[in-house]
Homo-oligomer: A and B are copies of this chain.
Amino acid sequence: MPNVRLALAQTNPTVGAIQANLAQILEQVVLAKQVGADILVFGEMALTGYPIEDLASRESFILEAELAVKALASKVVELGYEDLAVVIGHPAMANVQEQTGWAIAKNCASVIRGGEVIGTYAKHHLPNYSVFDEYRNFVPGNELLTFEHKGLKFSTVICEDIWQEGGPVSKLADAKTDVALILNGSPFEIDKDDKRLSLVKNLVQRQDCAAAYVNLVGGQDDLVFDGDSIVIDSKGRLIARAKQFKSDLVFIDIAAKDDMAVVGEHHLTKPNDNWQAWNALVLGLRDYIQKNGFKSVVLGLSGGIDSAVCATIAADAIGPENVFGVSMPSRYSSTGSKDDAEDLASRRGINYRIQAIENLVSPFESALDLTGLPAENLQARVRGVILMALSNKEGHLTLTTGNKSELAVGYSTIYGDSVGGYAPLKDVEKSLVWELAKWRNDYARSRNEVEPIPVSSIEKPPSAELRPDQVDQDSLPPYDVLDAILESYINQRKSRADLVLLGFDQAIIEKVLTLVDRAEWKRRQGAIGPKITGMAFGRDRRLPITNKYKG
């Protein structure tokens, strides 16, 4: 009876940093071997990072990745690990006659052993919906790769291959696979983890094999890979679950496809949805900052809930000493707001300064004779100029604090409060901002830490404070109604007629949908931010700006 030690390496690669990712992979090889691994599996495109987008159509990039795979094969043997099998995700050139459109490459998993690449699998099902453009970037493969190692049969497939019917994954049983090795670059969405688990369970039952599902971890632009790699035996039992939102290396001893055991202490459950959403936001921001060479962030602190939550996410991501908050009160800012901003900063020890805008705003007002909405936008734009000046002068990444509900209806000033390179709350609707704020305070309390978010920021009515006594609900329906309409219109793609049937008020429907459509040009110019739902603004939802459809 075989006893094979399988290791799952859940790494956090950086897109394009092939040599740095290779070094990271080799570190994992050494660590895995120290714990006696016989076979070590990485995630999809662990060598290049994922998604590589149109880098896939640059020949020099694909060739460098292919060379790095060969270098890895040599290195493993040089380290003395002749009998270690390593399965690594990477792009490779497609045959010339297979190339279509702009796609010159395949999305591959190679098996390395004894200094050689003993086989390469090419992903068959190329997702081309939601945030994915794989038909644009890759040529599909069509053959299962099965190999024997230490008495067990392993087969490799990649991510979407298990989300669709047919293709190589349907041949796992015929190939007498003991363990399917599934390489993934599967971005986080609230609740998606359970979908993955049930998909893999379904697969092992259909194909009568065990499965090791290895995901990437880390932020890449608007995507957050959450890790949460899993191992399931051929009876459908969950054997192991890697950490979520952290790099991890998990070991499994395999006697047979239905006789597997995790090595060491281990948890099979994971925390609640709010914990997950929060950690996705923190990881997305941290990796954007670090992978793009920033050390600190600057953001406006209005005393409101959005900037309070953004600042807290930032403090969790890179430490409060690297977060620079700026209060920019105007003649319309209430004392309460100014106090709340200062309170927020002091609770975590965030850097804090005050820059009043009156003396910067009034010269514009007189020069251009501005009143009403143009004057409101002016205030927001003067604040934008201040934040960008501080960013330019001090080297901070600017965060923009708008939430998904605001972005949906365009309740923001373009080039004003929207300035910044990253939008932590881009995919967090207002209702969830409140929920997460309360959750984060509860979490602090449960750990005997100071609650980071002032209660009055959570409880007071939201206001842009751009004119006297303004509150958001002067211009918008209550956020619970707004968020419910947005969920139907944006996420569910419902029509006006559908929304009427759902019981929403016709005038409110018309108002909200018109605002959403009109704000498309602003969203197009907005900062990226981490996707945490099934339908995020950005590449997940691609609509024309010029669009007269009113259905």
Contacts and interface: CB of A to CB of B under 8 A. Distances in A.
Interface string A5-48: 00000000011111010000000000000000000000000000
Contacts of A233: none
Interface stretch (A428-436, A474-482, A491-499): A491-499
Contact of A64 (B52, B288, B392, B551): B551
Interface in A374-403: 374, 377-378, 381-382, 384-386, 388-390, 392-393
Copy number of this protein in the oligomer? 2
A272 interface: no
Nearest to A356: B367
Interface stretch (A80-88, A463-471, A525-533): A525-533
A503 interface: no
Given A51-B544, A53-B544, A544-B221, A385 B382 contact: yes
Interface in A400-424: 414-415, 419, 421
A17 B548 contact: yes
A296 interface: no
A546 interface: yes
B292 A545 contact: yes
A388 B393 contact: no
Nearest to A127: B101
A138 to B, nearest CB: 11
B393 A374 contact: yes
B54 A541 contact: yes
A363 interface: yes
A243 to B, nearest CB: 22
A118 interface: no
A268 interface: no
A135 interface: yes
A360 B364 contact: yes
- Would you list the 9 A-B pairs with minimal beta carbon distance, nearest first? A16-B549, A60-B495, A101-B129, A17-B548, A374-B392, A102-B129, A16-B548, A60-B551, A374-B393
19 contacts: A14-B546, A14-B548, A15-B546, A17-B549, A52-B544, A60-B497, A61-B549, A101-B129, A135-B136, A220-B546, A221-B544, A287-B546, A377-B389, A381-B384, A381-B389, A382-B385, A384-B415, A385-B415, A528-B545
